[in-house]
A and B are shown apart, each in its own frame.
Chain A
Amino acid sequence: MAKTNAAFMSGIPELVVLRLLSRSEMYGYELIRAIRLTSGESIVLAEGVVYPTLHGLEQRGLLKAKEKLVKGRLRVYYQTTAKGKKRLVELENDWHRINNGVEAILRRVVCQN
């Protein structure tokens, strides 16, 4: 399966991760599966790159991490914090505004053609 074009992904992992982890805590592998499933396989990342994103968000206080031993494997579970939820609202607003703007441009160009 082709990986998602990186140029279109700026800021999206942060939004997607905060959104999914605001519902329930997940560990990396589970989160990647959730991103694939929820996006209908339209967002496909090199799976290893999700961890730096998670760690960056944790360092900024937007996520909290908890280590758990499950079936002999150490897993790190992440969940969105209150600060993360505030950031999520901002990102969602930005996303809707930009998305509406791009949609409007695309519709206009299509109509002119």
Chain B
Amino acid sequence: MSELNWQDLRVGMLKNGVAPKYARRTILELKSHFAELESRAIDEGLSEIAAQKRARKEIGDEATILNEVLSKPELRSIPSKFPRTFFLVTPTLSLLFTFGITLLLLLMSYESGNAIESGNELAAWQKLPVQAWFLASCYLLVPCYALVTIAIAKERFINPFWPAAGIVIMVFLGSSWAYTLDWPTAESAGAFSMNWGYSYFPRALRGDHDLQNYLQIVVTLTAAVVFWRMYDPLRRKLIN
């Protein structure tokens, strides 16, 4: 083999927790360096094969370079340094923070009275941000989190345990809350309500059955599994 095995080197760095930014840059710079060494050797009169052989000797072997990269803890990515914090603690806190913000919005509406009193009909532009916020926090936040988590874990060859645990916790926590929103009209007052609880169990277990939350869990977890399995072929297709 004349050149270094760039793909093995890249995978070796990523599997050992090196940040993708530095893995990509190391390969890019080494390739450029190798080409310069090779050009210089050819200019000195060596054949292409002899030039590549010399360039390979001068640049060092894959194991030496990999060991040097791994000796620098500052080049490791945050998810690989702190997997529990990154995949479990931070997203859970972010979700709780989102609940908090939503609750605050409801309380502010209640306090001001403007949004809920009858006869105080709101314009579409006033309703839109509130609707978007509720929709995003209720239905989009967790699936987006799951997709981003999978992409991060796949790109970094991270052991799937912590990402999977994080996704499961987020899906159960995220599907445990629901809201209802009735805008005020000329005749009736508006009403906001937010419910938090585990209402996805069948009626036999908890009394009344909430199909919406149950579906959220099943759909999001299924989508996450499918995306996990499809990620590598999709990525290859996109690159090629």
Contact = CB atoms under 8 A, between A and B. Distances in A.
A48 B74 contact: no
B75 A56 contact: yes
Given A28-B29, A55-B25, A76-B29, A49 B72 contact: no
Nearest to B73: A56
B20 to A, nearest CB: 12
Interface in A74-91: 74-76
A16 B168 CA distance: 49
B58 interface: yes
B32 A55 contact: no
Interface residues of A, number: 19
Contacts of A38: none
- The A interface, classified by DSSP as helix, strand, loop or mixed, is helix
Contacts of B71: 52
B65 A52 contact: yes
B122 interface: no
Contacts of B112: none
Contact of A75 (B32, B60, B72): B32
Contact of B32 (A53, A59, A60, A74): A74
- The B interface, classified by DSSP as helix, strand, loop or mixed, is helix
Contact of B26 (A46, A52, A75): A52
Interface string B7-22: 0000000000000001
Contact of A76 (B25, B36, B68): B25
A48 B35 contact: no
B214 to A, nearest CB: 46
Contacts of A55: 22, 25-26, 69, 72, 75
Given A47-B37, A47-B58, A51-B26, A56 B32 contact: no
Given A28-B33, A47-B59, A48-B59, A56 B65 contact: no
A49 B60 contact: yes
Interface of A: 27-29, 32, 46-49, 51-53, 55-56, 59-60, 73-76
27 contacts: A27-B29, A29-B32, A29-B33, A29-B36, A29-B37, A46-B65, A47-B33, A47-B37, A48-B4, A48-B30, A48-B60, A48-B68, A49-B60, A51-B65, A52-B65, A52-B68, A52-B72, A52-B75, A55-B22, A55-B25, A56-B75, A59-B22, A59-B72, A73-B32, A73-B35, A74-B28, A75-B32
Interface of B: 4, 22, 25-26, 28-30, 32-33, 35-37, 58-61, 64-65, 68-69, 71-72, 74-75
Across the A-B interface, give the 7 residue pairs with the lowest CB-CB distance, nearest first.
A46-B60, A56-B72, A49-B68, A48-B60, A48-B65, A52-B69, A59-B74
